[in-house]
Structure 1
Amino acid sequence: MGAHRFFAHPFMSIATSFSPRRRTALVPSLLSASAGVRRRVAALCALAAVAAVTAAAPADARVKLLHRHAHAAAAPASLPVSVTSALKRAGVPLADISVVVERIGDRTPIVALNAQSPMLPASTMKLVTTYAGLSILGVDYRWRTSAYADGNVDGNGVLHGNLYIQGTGDPKLVPEELIDLVDKIKQAGITGIDGALVLDKRFFDPSTRDAPPFDGDVNAPYNVGPDPLLYAFKSLTFTLTPSPDGNVAIDVLPALAQLQIDNSLRASPGACVGVDAALTPSVTPEPNGIVDALFSGEYPLRCGSRTINVAVLDHSAFFAGGFLALWRSAGGTFSGTTHEGPVPVGARLLAVHRGPVLGDIVRDINKFSNNVMARNLFLTIGALAEKPPATPQKSADAIERFLHAQGLVMPELSLVNGSGLSREEHVSAQSLADLLQNANASPVAQVFVASLPIAGVDGTMRNRLRNEPVLGNAHIKTGTLNDVRAIAGYVAAQNGESYVVVSFINAPRAEQARAAHDALLEWVYRGLR
């Protein structure tokens, strides 16, 4: 038996690219085996002891018994002083933190503190959604956005009828992607539309749009809800650049046909203070359909160029404005109205845009913790595992069926939107560690692990642990809500071992306890020393 036999797991093939890894020679006998091997053998013995009991039990019961005995085979270690001291400084009691540390390929916890407690995971819940999505839909799955037409096209390319756009929830239908559909419609011979622009959004149930913002901030991009025709995350990016002549240039992406910018900003001398008011526009939909974005006030020159993201309008108005801006910039004409409705049976297919592969989408979701992309993926799972229209319950049921088929017993799991942007989503550290072990041994392991932020390098971990040895040696998904801090992922340690690490802090002073999580990752990287 090789002490490091689990090096063949996909995470190890990725981790070894970060820093040199030594390999351990084959162990001739159990007596000379590493402590990790002896623990694994002890676990196997414990499982063998209950084999006679579980053999005749129903499949569900066997899974639960094996799961419980696997985790009871060894007494977990305590948290290191570096972590407990950081928690004490932050004023966070041990009762408010949940931790599991395991070696890759060994389900026996090395550390297990409050491991079975249901916890708010924040964005680490995206690990459940993305692993299930990759496995159920496939790494190469691509969303489709389709254009249909009824009526006739005259000799000048004008469609005397309606243009229908049917969405299936593409999470990354940004301008660079949507222009492909515009170009294909023009290639089909249409240069003008004198009917309506009709948006078919039946892929998701209308009830999925009605959830209130998580914290009441309707203009926060992280609060944008899911939609079958999600365009550019339903957010405008304004870039403000002051100049010495007193003017402030304003650029906006994406372009919306109905957007009008009212720029009353003045560049001013002095320190860069009080700029927040100038950065935040007042966005007002007018009765004539125009959307006015008013910027006013003083903008200090010393602030330089600044960017702000603002969620505006409803999904249908935002998509229609974005599509028509691209359509007109490509030379197309349109003078009709826009509304929602189904593609009629007799309509003819004009064009299909296929979005990026799911493997790329999952990378964006996990690296940058994109909530609305995760929510669109979550609903897509339900729509395809059952049938449209998608509902959160269909999606939760589909994911739970997948997890059960993998032998993952997660009784405390509660899925609401799949993004973690909820006070009702729960999972335990032990369940999430089990999922990470399962994912690492799965066919989608390479894509899944590579989607996680790398400590000190990119994503939501790019500014953490940059001056520590663990830099570049951990793939860690983070989670942040008020009173919640979470980490979950993989650490390739300097001793040649690799570990699963999960920790949740649910406490009023969780924000002050981030150092405890960093200390935990450093400790694991040093080989638990």
Structure 2
Amino acid sequence: MLRRATFAALLACSAAAHAELPEPVARLLRAANIPDEAVGAVVLRGNATVLAHGAERSMQPASTMKLVTTLVGLEQLGPIFRGRTELRSGADLVGGVLQGDLVLRGGGDADFDADVLEHMLQKLRNQGVKKIKGDLLLDRQLFRPARPDRVTPQFDRMPEFRYNVVPDALLLNTNMLQIDISSTQQQLKLLMMPPLEGVSVGADMKLVDAPCAKWEDGWRTPDYVRGEDGKLKVLLHGSFPRNCAHTVHVNVLDRQDYADRLFRATWRRLGGSFGGAVREAATPAGTRLLADHVARALPEVLRDINKISDNTQARLLYLSLGSLESDAYFGSRPLAAGDADTAVRARQVVRDWFLRHRIDEADLVIENGSGLSRTERIRPAQLAAVLRVGSQSVWAPEFLSSLPIAALDGTMRRRLRDSAAAARARIKTGGLENVVAIAGYVPDANNEQCVVVAFINHERVGNGAGRAALDALIDWVAASGLPPA
């Protein structure tokens, strides 16, 4: 009962609290025909509740759910936590030939890209490795299932774009291809990066008379085909404006093909020889470390997750919560993998954290930790309690510095420029179809820091209507000389 009593006390309305939305917010909602019942909002100032409107509604939070993932991640794994990638082998090196398999083992490295792979392979060349006689083994076993992208339902009709990429423990270059598309009046030109062994790009796109800025209107989901010779061809579909140039980043190839072709192209460019297969397997016992890469420290990764709302990095951190535990010095070590689903373990870690901080976890539904979900739910009051814990955490500076600053950076860089909150409020934003959300910290007119959380779940939030109402709430808090708590 203590946990629920503490939570209830936090949200009990003080003399200064009210359930009605501020008039500037209510006016914008009325103009957009958005009912008050579609809104959940909480404003806390110290231990006082300034505003509690629909605070106990279970609602879709969109990307504000990332605040749960990042704060729990920071407190569980610590500020010096880093994912890592390793090249290992148990084979002898004889006359420049590695006499067996090479292992590429994933450890949830948030920065494992094409440049990192090249640097790791260059370290092999510097050790005298000219030829790999065996196979390349891709070890993704840190997470279960090892290939969550194969079992995760498609979120929307744009699976090729980066915001939809499902991570695994060995996600290389986010599996992205950069394709530069340019057109003249009659011709289409394509350039693909990075270079992949036996992979080309083509298109059956129709050139149309349309504004270049509207190129996405004619975009259709790309795919790829495998020729009888084993070569792969990425195919772009739809239409594209004449006399236009645009760069797209797409997740098209299966990541097994992607890692295979990128490894072969990079190793060959470095002067290496390899004739084996690339296959998925666990790291055999008795291997030694040949090269490794360590990602940025967690607080730096959190800035990507919260400031630019990186779904893939948020999901990667969430899975790391289910696969790693910290030691006394905030290092980390893998949990015994077993057959347990990593996302299920992560969910339990989050719930245990809620219980430890005496936050009611009832109605909390967390699927992947990014908010890119139609099943994730949290009450505004719960997220406000999470933010209150974050402001008092020993790692509060690292957590707060990850949030977008109003009118300055991240997803808030163009918002609230003429507001009292400009350059002062730190706000995580969220948006899905029929959902807008904000959550963060807003200093009031007395420079007292307030926790502000607000969700709108309604079909009429589009065209900026929902966002305007939420910005009005932030501005109201920032401009108000609220009574002393």
Q: TM-score, normalised by structure 1?
A: 0.81
Cα distance, 1:271 vs structure 2: 5.3
Matches within 5 A, 1:82-93: 82-93=24-35
Unaligned runs of 5+ in 2: 326-334
Letter aligned with residue 205 of structure 1: R
Q: 1:308 aligns with which of 248, 252, 255?
A: 248
Q: 1:387 aligns with which of 330, 336, 352?
A: 336
SS across alignment from 2:71: helix
Change (3 A) 1:482 1:324: same
2:457 is matched with 506
Establish whether residue 230 from structure 1 lines up as the match of residue 171 from structure 2. yes
Cα distance, 1:435 vs structure 2: 0.8
Contact 2:13 2:52 in 1 (8 A): no
Change (3 A) 1:347 1:120: same
Establish whether residue 168 from structure 1 lines up as the match of residue 107 from structure 2. yes
CA displacement 1:101-138 (0-9 Å, x = unmatched): 112xx132100001011111111111000101111111
CA displacement 1:315-348 (0-9 Å, x = unmatched): 3222333333332332222222111011111333
Q: 1:353 aligns with which of 275, 284, 293?
A: 293
CA displacement 1:291-334 (0-9 Å, x = unmatched): 21245866422x3x312221112232223333333323322222
Structure having the larger proportion of residues in helix:
1
Larger Rg: 1
Letter aligned with residue 327 of structure 1: W
Establish whether residue 80 from structure 1 lines up as the match of residue 19 from structure 2. no
> In structure 2, what is the Cα distance between the partners aligned to 1:186 and 1:211?
38
Q: 1:465 aligns with which of 410, 416, 426?
A: 416
Cα distance, 1:216 vs structure 2: 4.4
2:309 is matched with 369
Establish whether residue 149 from structure 1 lines up as the match of residue 100 from structure 2. no
1:477 is matched with 428
SS across alignment from 2:34: coil
2:124 is matched with 185
> In structure 2, what is the Cα distance between the partners aligned to 1:472 and 1:256?
44
Q: After TM superposition, what 4+ stretches of structure 1 lie above 6 angstroms from structure 2?
A: 263-270
> In structure 2, what is the Cα distance between the partners aligned to 1:331 and 1:87?
64
> In structure 2, what is the Cα distance between the partners aligned to 1:379 and 1:503?
27
Letter aligned with residue 387 of structure 1: A
> In structure 2, what is the Cα distance between the partners aligned to 1:365 and 1:325?
31
Change (3 A) 1:264 1:116: closer
Q: 2:443 aligns with which of 479, 492, 495?
A: 492
Change (3 A) 1:265 1:69: closer
Establish whether residue 520 from structure 1 lines up as the match of residue 473 from structure 2. yes
Establish whether residue 456 from structure 1 lines up as the match of residue 395 from structure 2. no
Contact 1:172 1:373 in 2 (8 A): no
Contact 2:219 2:240 in 1 (8 A): no
Change (3 A) 1:218 1:456: same
Contact 1:98 1:503 in 2 (8 A): yes
Change (3 A) 1:387 1:424: farther
Q: 1:335 aligns with which of 265, 272, 275?
A: 275
Contact 2:211 2:241 in 1 (8 A): no
> In structure 1, what is the Cα distance between the partners aligned to 2:409 and 2:213?
30
> In structure 2, what is the Cα distance between the partners aligned to 1:295 and 1:406?
50
Change (3 A) 1:277 1:480: closer
> In structure 2, what is the Cα distance between the partners aligned to 1:338 and 1:309?
25
Contact 1:382 1:398 in 2 (8 A): yes
Change (3 A) 1:520 1:262: same
Cα distance, 1:88 vs structure 2: 1.2
Change (3 A) 1:88 1:298: closer
CA displacement 1:331-368 (0-9 Å, x = unmatched): 22222211101111133321221111111111111111
CA displacement 1:443-501 (0-9 Å, x = unmatched): 11111111111122221112222343422221111111111111001112343222111
Q: TM-score, normalised by structure 2?
A: 0.88
Letter aligned with residue 171 of structure 2: L
Letter aligned with residue 176 of structure 1: D
Structure having the larger proportion of residues in strand:
2
Q: How many residues get paired?
A: 463
Cα distance, 1:256 vs structure 2: 2.8
Establish whether residue 289 from structure 1 lines up as the match of residue 230 from structure 2. yes
CA displacement 1:191-225 (0-9 Å, x = unmatched): 22232111011111127331111124332322211
> In structure 1, what is the Cα distance between the partners aligned to 2:276 and 2:217?
37
2:153 is matched with 212
Cα distance, 1:73 vs structure 2: 5.1
Contact 1:497 1:527 in 2 (8 A): no
> In structure 1, what is the Cα distance between the partners aligned to 2:461 and 2:166?
26
> Percent identity at matched positions?
35
> In structure 2, what is the Cα distance between the partners aligned to 1:410 and 1:269?
54
Change (3 A) 1:190 1:213: same
SS across alignment from 2:283: coil
